[in-house]
Amino acid sequence: MNADMMTGNLAAAWGARLADVDYVPAFPITPQTEIVEALSVWCGNGSLNARFVTLDSEHSMMTAAGAAAATGARVFTATSSQGLLHAFEVLYTIAGWRVPLVLVNVSRALASPITLEPDHNDVLAARDSGFLQIHAETCQEVVDSILMAYRIAEDPRVCLPVMVNLDGFYLSFTREPVSLPDPKMVQAFLPPFRPTHLGFKASAPHALGTAVFGGATYSYFRHQIHLASMNALQVHEEASVEFERLCGRRYDVVEGYRLDDAEDVLIMTNAFASKGKGAVDAARAEGRRVGLLRLRMIRPWPADAIRQALQGRRAVAVLDQNLSPGQGGILFQEVAACLYHEALRPRALCSFIGGLGGKNISEGEFRAIFEQTAEAGINGQGIGPILLYTEAEHREMVQLQVLAGGLKS
Amino acid sequence: MRAVRFHGRGGQGAKTASRILGTAAFLEGFVAQDSPMYGPERRGAPVAAFTRIAQTPIRERGVIVHPDLVVIADASLMQDPAAHVPEGVDERTVVFVNSPLTAEQLQSQTSLPGRFTTLDLTGIALQQLGKRTAISALLGAVAGSLIGLGQESIREAIARELAELGLAAPMIERNQTVAAQCYETVPRVAIDVGLRRPTAPVPLRTPTYDPPTRGAASITAGPNSAIRSMAGWRTFRPVLRPDLCNGCWLCFANCPEGAITIKPDGKPAIYYPHCKGCLDCVEVCPTDALTVERETAATREA
Amino acid sequence: MTWQRETFKKIKQIPREEHVLPGTALCAGCGGLEALRLAAKVLGDDVVYVNAAGCFTMLAAYPFTPFKGSWLYTTMGSAPAGAQGVRDALDVLIAKGRLSKEEDLKVVVLGGDGSTYDMALSSTSGAITRKLDFYYFCYDNEAYGNTGMQLSPATPYGARTTTSPCSLQHPSGTTQEKKDIFEIWRAHKPPYIATVAPRYPLDLEEKFARASKFTGPKLFLALSACPTGWLYDPGETPEVAKLAVETGLWPLKEAINGVITHTYIPKRKPVEEYLKLQGRFRHLFEPTRQDEAIRHIQARVDDYWKQVNV
Ligand SMILES: Cc1ncc(C[n+]2csc(CCOP(=O)(O)OP(=O)(O)O)c2C)c(N)n1
Ligand code: SF4
Ligand code: SF4
Ligand code: SF4
Ligand SMILES: [Mg+2]
């Protein structure tokens, strides 16, 4: 196996390179920048036969990306945080064009206060745009998911853009072994992009993204985006099988970890799921029957897979690395909604909010989560949202406040 | 509840008419609700507006599907499928049409059910208010009269709504006077106050996936806008007198629509289905070969 | 040096074929549509229009399009970036042999003044700096028209809009001076910039013909006399456009590689004649005449032409 040490960002760039993209519109933002830096070098030295263009903003970058895809090019682009939100209206716009491009988002918490480290409020803000979303746990999964993303996006049953998410710092700047798929294998997995419904050319004029009037017409097209997104569950399944056949690695819409006899299940996404798995191992060693469910595909929402994984459990805890102020955890809401119709639904649903702005989730916090979740299961009474914060962190915060405001501690 | 639906063309004043009616009802102590429906189109294109009047809280919003009274500001709308005039109109509906024809004449020309009444508001406005003014006050007054609101509240509502639009006091007064006259002269038809038949549940369709060639808002059959007729947009039409035309092409060069073509002999011809009646061509014609005529139902058909 | 038209000398050279067909939802008498229709006669059909939100977005309203060419609606702020994506993709696909050269298209941004002067300025500036090979057609109706005529950075001094009403503080409407987008563009050094107006069809056609010889950003600023927003009778569009030019308020000019030529030197009628025609300036004359505001507008025009020195 030809594995190599590689950051998540470099893995993302390799995903684009292996997919043999035609066009890379770019704009820098930490912690994404290395992706486009690598691509600009490759485009410059000919190792990737694509045009690289730096736009004036992410709003422009996403527009150029969508427009190029609408013209018939295979497009890759990447952003993060403020950049994703700066492009927000364009996400909806180009999803409506039904252009199958891939956007990598490197998660980073949103201002204000401005910071650099990750949480998932950026990517989840885009969950209603029509983009599909795949969230990666490892650098290996980043490159593999990008290849799968193109295959799913370009399938005529889908034709929607896909966002592949990786955590800033914890993946973007973290090196670990990545085995790059063989380019021949990629060719077999990913046929050339030859869309039938896109492409501006003299011999086939058409108008795209036209105004519509009346709710019935608008509803039809929004329904189509929904149906296309739902089709992606099946298309993903097919892509998974094929990817495993060619590459030996298997990715499903959700990943279960030590679920078999688990009474209580912790739900996580992205890079910190690795820590969650470690915490499961530690708890298992102490005799707790716990497991972890990692949500990999967020859009379309794999409701059946989630229901199947959770039915009959005692308690389920969702650890959201995001916060919808005034509501709580975003994924908790969605998990809760898809369990409502489950006859064997868990006795308790617990909501924890952690890891905001890259805040660590310590072993001790995981222990607390498992304890409280177990107790909730026994009581048959859900809890949350619980905002994870340790006493030690609080003491440090007070010190900072003293410095900032001269408060008496 | 009484539900009044106004149909007009952008710029004629249907929206303001619905507000005048709403305000008048409000002034009389009724519960009232009025709202316009915006389409894509601007001046000249079909628009609709809705006024509801009741004695108890109104549990409806938006489009009026079962109108008690339909007020049509422009007879050409009755033939315009984009205007949706026939929707929900049945034998009980009172239909007012701004037209020089009588109710009987109109009724014989249309398949629209309903009980008709007419008055030539455009003619009255042209005579007494001037060229191309909106007829909102007159429409509002006619609607008020038919629905049974008092003249005083209509008068006051006209003042309020036209002031809101920035009209000067003398113009408002002129509108009030002409509106009062329309209020008096419009032939009344009693509104049916009987209960409406209950509606049956509609069959629902489960949407299915279409390939993106159809499932995205994309148009491949273009250019196809020219299949639409713009004839209804016109209040006036340009008429060409070939004997006066010197063939200078200025009209052709200045028509925003491209409704004027050049014939093989180098002379212009107006293609009326494409003409919106802006009269830019008349303005630029150096020889007065283009003149202006008021549009009628008969000329529009031609 | 007087400017000479080389291709379009006579009205009868205006191509008869239409490329933007009738049947759209734009207002009767729309000056911007008139300018676009004339422009398209030179641009032809091998075009993709990349549109920013505005009145012209209504041109292609499902299921109808008036264009023989293609169309892509983007957003209010990023049509030039859309043009970038389309142009780049066409280049790449042609270079890779996936598209034949005959399939190539001209890329034309179609945006209003609000988009052009403010929201899309970053996107435009970027595109010019990248030397993007495209046309930019700005139809300038001097307000946010599609939303009902609010003040835009292109609204001229003294105009009343729905967000610059005449108030006690500002009895003469807005005191803002129209942003000089021509000079902002010129500072970017594109090969070709021109102003055009309906009612001057030969000047317009000639400029599009001249622009076609340049590779790179080609920018057109079209006076879009607007009966609905400027509050005049639609039939007066030619007259309003004519007076805008004849008073000197809307100079017809071009800049080739930065060198400006005025393509028409007006005799310069008093601005009053132009202002008087339009409801948006009526408050300058009724109920009391606002001489100072009118003088201000006249002085601005006089200053401009003094600098031009023709
Ligand atoms: C981001 C964004 N903000 C606001 C709007 C609402 N909007 C649509 S068209 C328009 C006016 C555009 O003005 P202009 O560019 O001058 O074009 P016009 O409408 O005059 O044709 C506005 C403000 C929008 N579509 N997008
Ligand atoms: S009235 Fe207007 S639309 Fe009709 S032919 Fe004349 S210029 Fe064209
Ligand atoms: S402008 Fe008048 S004279 Fe000239 S071609 Fe048209 S109709 Fe004839
Ligand atoms: S509002 Fe003005 S610019 Fe917009 S379509 Fe109407 S006339 Fe043209
Ligand atoms: Mg504008």
Name the closest-CA residue to atom 3, ligand 3. Answer: B245
The contacts of residue C11 (CB under 8 Å, 6+ apart) are B248, B249, B250, B253, C201, C202
pLDDT at C1 over 60: no
Average pLDDT over residues A378-405: 96
B234 CA distance to ligand 2 middle (Å): 10
Decide if C105 contacts C58 (C-beta within 8 A): no
The contacts of residue A205 (CB under 8 Å, 6+ apart) are B222, C45, C67, C68, C69, C70
As a dihedral over the C-alpha atoms of residue A172, residue A174, residue A177, residue A179, rounded to 10 degrees, the angle is 10
Distance CA A126, CA A137 (A): 19
Residue C11: CB atoms within 10 A of its CB come to 14
ipTM above 0.90 for this complex? yes
Q: Do A196 and B220 touch (CB under 8 A)?
A: no
Q: Could you say which of B207, B215, B219 has the minimum Cβ distance to residue A207? A: B219
**B227-274 confidence digits (pLDDT tens):** 999 998 898 999 999 999 999 999 999 999 999 999 999 999 999 999
Distance CA B47, CA B6 (A): 8
pLDDT at B264: 94
Decide if C239 contacts C278 (C-beta within 8 A): no
Residue with tokens 């008429």: B239
- Nearest Cα residue to A90 out of A163, A158, A152, A198: A163
The answer to whether residue C89 neighbours chain B at the CB level (below 8 Å) is: no
Q: Could you say which of C65, C201, C233 has the minimum Cβ distance to residue B223? A: C65
Provide the token pair at A54. Answer: 């730096």
Q: Provide the CB-side half-sphere exposure for C289 (13 A, CA).
A: 6
Average of per-residue pLDDT values in chain A: 97
- Cα distance between the two ends of chain A: 57
Nearest-Cα distance to chain B for A226, in Å, is 9
What single DSSP character describes residue C134?
A: E
Average pLDDT over residues B80-106: 92
Q: Do B41 and C33 touch (CB under 8 A)?
A: no
What single DSSP character describes residue A352?
A: E
**B155-200 confidence digits (pLDDT tens):** 999 999 999 988 889 999 999 999 999 999 999 999 987 777 788 8
Residue with tokens 């008419």: B17
pLDDT category at B129 given cuts 50, 70, 90 is confident
Average pLDDT over residues A68-95: 98
Dihedrals phi, psi of C259, to nearest 5 degrees:
-90, 120
Dihedrals phi, psi of C36, to nearest 5 degrees:
-65, -40
The answer to whether residue A207 neighbours chain B at the CB level (below 8 Å) is: yes
pLDDT at B197: 77
**A164-210 confidence digits (pLDDT tens):** 999 999 999 999 999 999 999 999 999 999 998 899 999 999 999 99
Class at the top of the CATH hierarchy for domain C12-308? alpha beta
Provide the token pair at A161. Answer: 């853009």
Residue with tokens 């279960």: A256
C144 CA distance to ligand 4 middle (Å): 10
Decide if B95 contacts B89 (C-beta within 8 A): yes
The contacts of residue C286 (CB under 8 Å, 6+ apart) are none
Q: Can you give the C-alpha Rg of chain C in angstroms?
A: 19
Q: Do B225 and C58 touch (CB under 8 A)?
A: no
pTM: 0.95
pLDDT at A400: 95
Closest ligand 4 atom, CA of C26?
5
Return the higher-pLDDT residue of A313 and C2. Answer: A313
Nearest-Cα distance to chain B for A158, in Å, is 8
Would you say the CB of residue B247 lies under 6 angstroms from ligand 3?
yes
pLDDT at B132: 67
pLDDT at A407: 63
Mutate to test the interface with C, among A59, A201, A206, A208 (most CBs of C within 10 A): A201
Q: Which amino acid appears at position A283 of this protein?
A: A
Percentage of the residues of chain C whose pLDDT score is greater than 70:
99
Neighbours of chain C (3+ CB pairs under 8 A): A, B
B182 CA distance to ligand 2 middle (Å): 32
What single DSSP character describes residue C119?
A: I
Q: Can you give the C-alpha Rg of chain B in angstroms?
A: 22
pLDDT at A192: 96
Average pLDDT over residues A375-382: 98
Distance CA C102, CA C46 (A): 9
Range in A114-118, B21-25, B130-134, C187-191 with the lowest mean pLDDT? B130-134
Ligand nearest to the CA of C228: 4
Q: Could you say which of B10, B253, B280 has the minimum Cβ distance to residue C235? A: B280
Average pLDDT over residues A265-270: 98
Average pLDDT over residues A340-345: 94
- CA A3 to chain CA centroid, Å, is 24
What is the residue extent of each domain of chain A? 3-247, 258-394
Would you say the CB of residue B134 lies under 6 angstroms from ligand 3?
no
Nearest-Cα distance to chain B for A64, in Å, is 19
Burial of A110 (0-12, 13-18, 19+ CB in 10 A): middle
Residues of chain C in contact with residue B284, where contact means CB-CB under 8 angstroms, are: 199, 238
Decide if A327 contacts A275 (C-beta within 8 A): no
pLDDT category at B83 given cuts 50, 70, 90 is confident
**A274-290 confidence digits (pLDDT tens):** 999 999 999 999 999 99
Measured N-to-C along each axis, helices B151-164 and B169-185 cross at an angle, to the nearest 10 degrees, of: 140
Mutate to test the interface with B, among C13, C30, C56 (most CBs of B within 10 A): C30
Query: Do A3-247 and A258-394 fold alike per CATH?
Result: yes
**A291-310 confidence digits (pLDDT tens):** 999 999 999 999 999 999 99
The contacts of residue C310 (CB under 8 Å, 6+ apart) are C262, C265
pLDDT at A408: 64
User: Looking at domain B2-185, which of 1.10.1040.10, 3.40.920.10, 3.40.50.10860, 2.60.130.10 is its CATH number?
Assistant: 3.40.920.10
Average of per-residue pLDDT values in chain B: 93
Name the closest-CA residue to atom 2, ligand 3. Answer: B285
Closest ligand 2 atom, CA of B260?
5
The answer to whether residue A93 neighbours chain C at the CB level (below 8 Å) is: yes
Cis, peptide link before residue A161, omega less than 30° from 0: no
Name the closest-CA residue to atom 22, ligand 1. Answer: C147
Q: Do B256 and C65 touch (CB under 8 A)?
A: no
Percentage of the residues of chain A whose pLDDT score is greater than 70:
99
Nearest-Cα distance to chain C for A95, in Å, is 12
User: What secondary structure does DSSP assign to B237-252, as a single string?
Assistant: EEEE-GGG-----HHH
Average pLDDT over residues A95-102: 98
Average pLDDT over residues A2-12: 95
Helices and strands of chain B, counted as H and E runs: 10, 11
DSSP E strands in A202-314: the ranges are 207-208, 254-257, 264-268, 290-295, 297-299
**C97-113 confidence digits (pLDDT tens):** 999 999 999 999 999 99
Decide if B281 contacts B260 (C-beta within 8 A): yes
pLDDT at A67: 98
pLDDT at C150 over 60: yes
CA distance readout (Å), C86 to A51, C12, C73, C298: 12, 35, 12, 43
Rounded (to 5) percent helix, strand, coil in chain C: 40, 15, 45
pLDDT at B10: 86
pLDDT at A160 over 90: yes
Distance CA B60, CA B50 (A): 11
Would you say the CB of residue C224 lies under 6 angstroms from ligand 1?
no
- Point out which residues pair with C254 in neighbouring strands: C194, C261
Class at the top of the CATH hierarchy for domain B228-300? alpha beta
Q: Provide the CB-side half-sphere exposure for A310 (13 A, CA).
A: 31
pLDDT category at A382 given cuts 50, 70, 90 is very high
Percentage of the residues of chain A whose pLDDT score is greater than 90:
98
CATH architecture of the region A258-394: 3-Layer(aba) Sandwich (3.40)
**A310-320 confidence digits (pLDDT tens):** 999 999 999 99
**B43-59 confidence digits (pLDDT tens):** 778 899 999 999 999 99
Average pLDDT over residues A59-83: 98
What is the residue extent of each domain of chain C? 12-308
What single DSSP character describes residue C287?
A: S
The contacts of residue C245 (CB under 8 Å, 6+ apart) are C197, C199, C200, C223, C251, C252, C264, C266
Could you tell me the CATH superfamily of domain A3-247?
Thiamin diphosphate (ThDP)-binding fold, Pyr/PP domains (3.40.50.970)
What is the residue extent of each domain of chain B? 2-185, 228-300
Q: Do A207 and C91 touch (CB under 8 A)?
A: no
The answer to whether residue B279 neighbours chain C at the CB level (below 8 Å) is: yes
pLDDT at A1 over 60: no
Residues of chain A in contact with residue B213, where contact means CB-CB under 8 angstroms, are: 196-197
pLDDT at A393 over 70: yes
User: What secondary structure does DSSP assign to B158-192, as a single string?
Assistant: HHHHHHHTT--HHHHHHHHHHHHHHHHHSPP-PPP
Closest ligand 1 atom, CA of C154?
16
Q: Could you say which of C29, C65, C237 has the minimum Cβ distance to residue B225? A: C65
Distance CA A357, CA A365 (A): 16
Decide if B271 contacts B260 (C-beta within 8 A): yes
pLDDT at B39 over 80: no
